[in-house]
Amino acid sequence: MEELTYVQALNRALREEMTRDPNVFLMGEDIGIWDGTFKVTKGLLADFPGRVIDTPLSESAIIGAGVGAALAGLRPVTELMFMDFATCAMDPIVNQAAKIRFMSGGKNKVPMVIRGPQGGGLNTAAQHSQSLEAWFAHVPGLKVVLPSCAYDAYGLLKAAIRDDNPVVFLESKTLYGTKNSLPEEEFLIELGKADVKRKGKDVSIIAISTAVPMALQAAEELAKEGIDAEVIDPRTISPLDSDTIIESVKKTGRAVVAHEAVLQGGFGAEIASIIVEKAFDYLEASVLRVGSEFSPIPYTKPLETAFLINKDKIVTAVKKLFE
């Protein structure tokens, strides 16, 4: 076993996949000489000359070129410096990458990964701190992945690169420094399979990305008060492993859904609806959601902290279910 940070786990996955398959290459802003803004691509330019491409500052060009390369038989991994700026490339993502396989009757595949950092916590303000996973999950044809730890980031990225469909791979900036022990031998994590991060019998906390470690901390605090919480990490929200979520809720009878994205229109609403539709007769209380405030993300640390979700907000929501 070796202990790696989230960033190092991503770097290892990229290195292994580029070594395994010569069709895998990387494109993005400052990912070569600069090693990427968060150093995910560190050292790869020297080891894979010609396959780590520094692009112009144009997200539409990066994704558009990636779609073309994928259609030509390559497996591009495109990096956006901040996922907020996927907004500049929504046409090639939504109208091209997501739809070409369907519109060609399956004849043309688009095996590409669109990866990059998202979320708040580092005081990068309103245009560099959003969590937009619900946008992507609303589009048929896209797979959407949100790893919550280094172990999952490694296994999910390798699976995403090998997938024949476009995968939006969303990495939390605040998780980049967190560590896990990874086996030395390679492994893949199947897209569309949730993980039970903590078993429990009294309440199910379904947490996405940064909310997962918060939920685990909340579960430890709740245990001291006699509430045994089960923590479910979907890992991918499209496809969503609703079976694991429903199985958990049927056992516990209570559910809280937590994510960093703003509450209004967040993917937690989709999960809550699925629970109500498929496990209504098992519920002992309403399904509650925890999300960030419906506002652009403030720059200053005190305001950003007030805006974002945290462990205490999850604890408060769980306790409401037992009142």
**Active-site positions?**
59, 128
Question: Measured between alpha carbons, how far is residue 231 from residues 103, 201, 214, 244 in Å?
Answer: 39, 10, 10, 11
In the chain, the amino acid numbered 280 is F
Task: Confirm if 50 and 82 have CB atoms less than 8 A apart.
Answer: no
Cα 109 to chain centroid distance, Å, stands at: 23
Strand partners, 229: 203
Pairing of strands 2-5, 179-182: antiparallel
Query: Could you tell me which residues come within 8 angstroms of residue 321 by beta carbon, excluding any fewer than 6 positions away?
Result: 203, 254, 256, 284, 285, 286, 288
Task: Confirm if 296 and 306 have CB atoms less than 8 A apart.
Answer: no
> 63 exposed, middle or buried (CB, 10 Å; 0-12, 13-18, 19+)?
buried
Which residue in this structure is represented by tokens 């990964």?
113
Strand partners, 28: 54, 79
Give, rounded to a whole angstrom, the gap between the first and last alpha carbons of the chain. 44
Distance CA 216, CA 199 (A): 10
Structure letter (DSSP) for residue 93? I
Task: Confirm if 191 and 157 have CB atoms less than 8 A apart.
Answer: no
Distance CA 58, CA 29 (A): 8
